[in-house]
Amino acid sequence: YYFPCQRWLAVEEDDGQIARELVPVDEAFVKKDSENDGQSPATLGLEQKAKSTTYTVKVKTGDKKNAGTDANVFIILYGSKDDTGIVSLKASKINKNKFERGKVDEFTVESVDIGDLKKIKIGHDNKGNSTGWFLEWVEIDAPSLGQCLKFPCGRWLDKSEDDGATERIIFPAELQTVEYIPFVPYEITVYTSDIFGAGTDADVFIVLYGSDGICTQQKSLCLNKREQRMYFERNSVNQFIVELEDVGDIIEKIRIGHRGGGLNSGWHLDRVTIRRLLPNGK
């Protein structure tokens, strides 16, 4: 069995996860790479993405005295087919100090396909100076499933409050479930030119346009400023797997640019290639 990864396991890199579920790939992919016939391991990205689901998890800490926690928070997502196992919520995309009173934190959780989301378990390890936590709600958005679910809690996870539990199983509020057309993964490869000053540290974004006026949202290719500094260097090739609205079989045009700012914002773009999985998995 071959389990390629090619991803960071680091709080400050990629999506902030320090554990990953990997799916096996066909031996032919690995052999092609070893024979050096032009099959890059990176081309596995789209195939692997099709077998996994990315969830955006938002967590709201209540606006009560001592509601925030310094303990290590974890979550488990339970689906109709499987569960994610314990996922540590380490790197909030919004706040440096996470789980503070009245704040919403956002995390990325990636997992193999667990089916329809049925319930979650969320809790903490009760370690640190201020461990008690008042959890208002959890919201989980799964673009590839076309679902956004709300899990109301409104209770303490505290050994000295409520029933003394530090973890809870929560079910989604059916009336607050939002359904939309599922997103699909696109593999976007960006080639920066080989001329002086070609690279940029700016926030690069892309929009895809299909037929009949359909287009995607404007999506940043980098997750954070650290990635902006790492990518889009002179004469570089950078590949991104991005979940976006399905614009259909034909991409009529794209809009790509950056938001300026910083010392080295000017960018000389050579070309962009885009591919997506067709519905039959090819």
Domains 2-38+183-276 and 53-179 share a fold: yes
Domain boundaries, the chain: 2-38+183-276, 53-179
- Helix H or strand E encompassing 34: helix 27-34
The pTM of the full predicted model, rounded to 2 decimals, is: 0.81
CA distances from 49 to 15, 37, 85, 105, 208 (A): 14, 23, 19, 25, 19
Across the chain, where does the E strand assignment appear?
52-61, 73-79, 87-88, 104-112, 117-124, 133-142, 147-157, 167-170, 178-179, 184-192, 204-209, 219-220, 237-244, 253-258, 269-276
Give me the CATH code for the 53-179 domain, please: 2.60.60.20
Query: What distance in Å separates the CA atoms of residue 107 and residue 93, rounded to the nearest whole number?
Result: 6
Residue range 2-38+183-276, CATH number: 2.60.60.20
Count of residues for the chain? Answer: 282
What is the chain's pLDDT, residue by residue, as a tens digit (282 residues)?
888 787 888 888 877 888 888 878 776 666 555 554 444 554 566 777 777 888 999 999 999 999 999 999 999 999 999 899 999 998 888 888 999 999 999 998 988 889 899 999 999 999 988 889 999 999 999 998 899 999 999 999 998 888 889 999 999 998 999 999 899 989 999 999 999 999 999 999 999 999 888 999 999 998 888 888 889 999 999 999 899 999 988 899 999 999 887 778 899 999 999 988 766 554
